[in-house]
Chains A and B, each alone.
Chain A
Amino acid sequence: MSKKMTRTMIDTEEIKGVSLWADAFRRLLKNKLAVFGAIIIIFFTLVAIFADLIAPYPYDYINFESNEQFAKPSSKYPFGTDEQGRDMFSRVIYGSRISLSVGIVTALVALIIGVTYGAISGFAPSKVDELMMRIVDILYGIPYMFFVILLMVAFGRKDYMLFIGIGAVSWMTIARITRGQILTLRNNEYIEAAKSIGVSKGRLIFRHLIPNAIGPIIVYLTLTIPSIMLQEAFLSFLGLGIQPPKASWGSLATFGGTLGAIQNYPHLIIFPGLALALTLFGMNAFGEGLRDALDPSLKNRI
């Protein structure tokens, strides 16, 4: 060992230790795109929380006094009005509530299923593990979006079916990541130590393994939320998701997404569409920034 290196080591010891998360946070703040993404997320979250205070009208308010269908954007209706004369500005504001909550709740459903399945698989004997992963492989081959459509048709277009349907098809990647993490962690010495003092299997998984495997899972989760929101928007746009008069950004675009409406009333699709695109951009930018920050060696990878 050279002199220089020894000195570096001593120097390092004098510096105050930084935790993994604090270090990641510092790197995250340096990433302009990620910070921009975080600002967008905070903005739309606040809009969703305070929708009642911001929106000039209730989301289902129709002004029967005057006939104001398809009004162009104006100072009275900044985003114009829809086919029923409802204020699009208010509807886009309330839409943020449903779009964001579908994304978050469904991602949590996917997280719970995925982590449990992946952890059990990673911890089970290799025969069981192999079988469980084979099942995931087979499920992966299924064009699941069509199954979610079938599910929505079969069981009525209920909001909770949307959570279950999309959640039930989004857990598989989380399961794979969790399993991978567990497999690398399970041979660590502290696991041996825990085993040797007779810690139960359940406690071992949930107290020791999962907390240590959580980094990549959180990163994937932040990237799952926008992809789930995109799927909800896809279904709602086709008329199979959120049902009127309730509004998500996807369902708001349904009427505006016809050829006639695009030609005559482009504001019907532009405003909800941009709100959704901006939010998803923010989430993707933030999620990727978070990934780079937590594990710089993964930078530039998919």
Chain B
Amino acid sequence: MLKFIVRRFFSSIITIFVIITVAYFLIRAVPGDPFSSEKNMPKEIRENLNRKFHLDQPLYKQYFMYLNNLVFHFDFGPSFRSRGFSVNDLIKQYFPVSLLIGSLAMIIAVILGVSFGMISALNQNKFGDYFFMSYAILGISVPMFVIVPIFLLIFSIGLKILPVGGWKRASDVGIIGMIPYLIIPIFSLSLPYTAYITRMTKAGMMDIIRKDFVTTARAKGLKNSTILFRHIMKGSIIPVVSYVGPAFAGIVTGSVVVEQILGIPGMGRVFVQAAFNRDYSLVMGDVITYSLLIIVMNFVVDILYGFLDPRVKYS
């Protein structure tokens, strides 16, 4: 077990290193520099700016400088576009918003997905089953940029019970005041993952319902609810745990669209803007933060999986 954790840890480190390196050289392959759109900039100012951001140094030196600052000082450097702000400042400002939406969406997806999957498995070939299984295919087929407008059209524009996008900070409206602004982003983001988890839970339960130990439990005369929650549920949830890692990556990506449409000041929206503006350092910071988040998530999930399922052998 310990050996597995150590090995898994090192492969995570390598992954992060590969990400940083590839992202760095890829973004530096972009033709034009961050200041190339400012056509009337005097030569001297441009040279000064280049010197300030060390763009006049050889590429490999810049790369090692970047790596050094990042690893030893957790410093992503200054933003090339938002003058006077460091990338760390910007991430600190935008990241909590995305993290809040993402984690809530994940929680909702797990709760709803597991419940739907159980209903589906217990009512096999009845209405509930067909309903949720159609939903499961539909959920992965409808793109995020269609889900969000549909929610908006129904709840904000039609029924007028939710605000039309936008965002309020907890410091301005309190936590209760934030809820109306959270509902559409959270539910749209969780929809496709609810669909996946529904299917996984159903598949897991169908497998376990047929197992001998369930028959034994029935034969012993245990209550149905006891069998369901004590015997069946535990086994059928295990595959869901392993899915949480990849799902989290997907939710993070999906939040780009959600934030873009609803005008939520999160990392996803900033990332797209930074990519368009060629704000090298901000794009790098975003990619690395996202990657770290996803890698840590996968790492935790893999270890958790081992604790939950004793059959998993770490080799």
Q: Which segment of A2-10, A66-74, A135-143, A208-216 sits at the interface? A: A135-143
B165 and A142 contacting across the interface, CB-CB below 8 Å: no
A33 and B263 contacting across the interface, CB-CB below 8 Å: no
A146 and B287 contacting across the interface, CB-CB below 8 Å: yes
User: What residues of B have a CB within 8 angstroms of the CB of A274 in the complex?
Assistant: 146
A154 and B15 contacting across the interface, CB-CB below 8 Å: no
B278 and A153 contacting across the interface, CB-CB below 8 Å: yes
A150-B287, A262-B157, A273-B146 known; A143+B294 contact, CB < 8 A? yes
For B, the interface residue count at a CB cutoff of 8 angstroms equals: 59
B164 and A142 contacting across the interface, CB-CB below 8 Å: no
B287 and A143 contacting across the interface, CB-CB below 8 Å: yes
A149 at the binding interface (Cβ < 8 Å): yes
Question: A269's contact among B15, B137, B145, B256, by CB below 8 Å, is which?
Answer: B145
A138 and B11 contacting across the interface, CB-CB below 8 Å: yes
Q: Is the interface of A mostly helix, strand, loop or mixed?
A: helix
Measured in the bound complex, the distance between the Cα atoms of B149 and A266 in whole Å is 8
Taken residue by residue from 154 to 170, chain A's Cβ proximity to chain B (1 for < 8 Å, 0 otherwise) reads as 11000000000000000
A273 and B143 contacting across the interface, CB-CB below 8 Å: yes
B203 and A154 contacting across the interface, CB-CB below 8 Å: no
A85 at the binding interface (Cβ < 8 Å): no
Please provide the chain B residues from 207 to 232 with a CB less than 8 Å away from any CB of chain A in the complex: 207
User: What residues of B have a CB within 8 angstroms of the CB of A238 in the complex?
Assistant: 256-257, 260, 272
A94 at the binding interface (Cβ < 8 Å): no
Measured in the bound complex, the distance between the Cα atoms of B130 and A33 in whole Å is 11
A270 at the binding interface (Cβ < 8 Å): yes
B11 and A134 contacting across the interface, CB-CB below 8 Å: yes
Taken residue by residue from 151 to 167, chain B's Cβ proximity to chain A (1 for < 8 Å, 0 otherwise) reads as 01100010000001100
Q: Is the interface of B mostly helix, strand, loop or mixed?
A: helix
A233 and B145 contacting across the interface, CB-CB below 8 Å: yes
Question: B202's contact among A273, A277, A300, by CB below 8 Å, is which?
Answer: A300
How far, in Å, is A184 (CB) from chain B's closest CB? 19
A153 and B30 contacting across the interface, CB-CB below 8 Å: yes
User: What residues of B have a CB within 8 angstroms of the CB of A300 in the complex?
Assistant: 202-203, 206-207
Measured in the bound complex, the distance between the Cα atoms of B260 and A141 in whole Å is 25
Question: B203's contact among A269, A276, A302, by CB below 8 Å, is which?
Answer: A302
How far, in Å, is B150 (CB) from chain A's closest CB? 8
Measured in the bound complex, the distance between the Cα atoms of B207 and A269 in whole Å is 41
Which residue of chain A lies nearest to B294 when distances are taken between CB atoms in the complex?
A143
Question: A273's contact among B145, B256, B262, by CB below 8 Å, is which?
Answer: B145
A143 and B249 contacting across the interface, CB-CB below 8 Å: yes
Measured in the bound complex, the distance between the Cα atoms of B156 and A259 in whole Å is 11
Supply 7 A–B pairs (Cβ within 8 Å), ascending by A.
A146-B291, A154-B26, A230-B143, A262-B149, A281-B141, A300-B206, A302-B239
**B interface residue numbers (CB < 8 A to A):** 11-12, 14-15, 18-19, 22-23, 26-27, 29-30, 134, 137-138, 140-146, 148-149, 152-153, 157, 164-165, 196, 199-200, 202-203, 206-207, 239, 249, 252-253, 256-257, 260-263, 271-272, 275-276, 278, 283, 286-287, 290-291, 294-295, 298
**A interface residue numbers (CB < 8 A to B):** 33, 134, 137-139, 141-143, 145-147, 149-151, 153-155, 226, 230, 233-234, 237-240, 250, 253, 256-259, 262-263, 266, 269-270, 273-274, 276-277, 280-281, 283-285, 288, 300-302
Known: A146-B291, A280-B141, A281-B138. 10 other contacts (CB 8 A): A143-B291, A149-B272, A149-B275, A150-B275, A155-B29, A226-B141, A234-B257, A262-B157, A262-B261, A277-B142
